[in-house]
């Protein structure tokens, strides 16, 4: 069975400072892992995905995530936050070869001046 835990429901950072959104997963088989962003009243957009290639994955808008199998983690980072990064972020897991996506509970990122 697959599951995903987002450790922080809310994260607040100042503009220009680093962002860290934490995600731990559980999967019986080699997982695919995704980070999606949801801006207010907008659809879900893929930030990046891990699919058993490079463990450090670079995504859009300067975000990246590192897959750490030993820690079962897939934390999302960005060196410098921008006001436009304020949104809800979802960590998502899918077991290898499967169809079903399992969403984390989401992390609301707030960026302050």
Give the residues lining the site for other proteins (CB under 8 A): 32, 34, 42-44, 46, 49, 51-52, 90, 94, 96-101, 103-106
Taking the complex as a whole, the smallest distance from the CB of residue 39 to other proteins amounts, in Å, to 11
Give the Cα separation of 47 and 98 in Å (integer).
21
Count of beta carbons in the 10 Å neighbourhood of residue 71 = 10
Taking the complex as a whole, the smallest distance from the CB of residue 84 to other proteins amounts, in Å, to 19
Q: Which is nearer to other proteins, 12 or 14 (CB)?
A: 12
Taking the complex as a whole, the smallest distance from the CB of residue 51 to other proteins amounts, in Å, to 4
Give the Cα separation of 94 and 14 in Å (integer).
32
Q: Which is nearer to other proteins, 42 or 82 (CB)?
A: 42
Q: Which is nearer to other proteins, 66 or 103 (CB)?
A: 103
Closest Cα to residue 8, out of 112, 110, 106?
A: 106
Give the Cα separation of 72 and 111 in Å (integer).
27
Give the Cα separation of 83 and 44 in Å (integer).
18
Taking the complex as a whole, the smallest distance from the CB of residue 17 to other proteins amounts, in Å, to 26
């Amino acid at each position: 069975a697959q599951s995903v835990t987002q450790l922080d429901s809310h994260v607040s950072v100042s503009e220009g400072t680093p962002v860290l959104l934490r995600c731990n997963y559980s999967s019986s088989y080699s997982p695919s892992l995704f980070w999606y962003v949801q801006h207010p009243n907008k659809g879900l957009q893929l930030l990046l995905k891990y699919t058993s290639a490079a463990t450090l994955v670079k995504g859009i808008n300067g975000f990246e995530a590192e897959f750490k199998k030993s820690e079962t983690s897939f934390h999302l980072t960005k060196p410098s936050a921008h006001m436009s990064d304020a949104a809800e972020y979802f960590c998502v897991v899918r077991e290898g070869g499967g169809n079903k996506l399992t969403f984390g509970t989401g992390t609301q990122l707030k960026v302050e001046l």
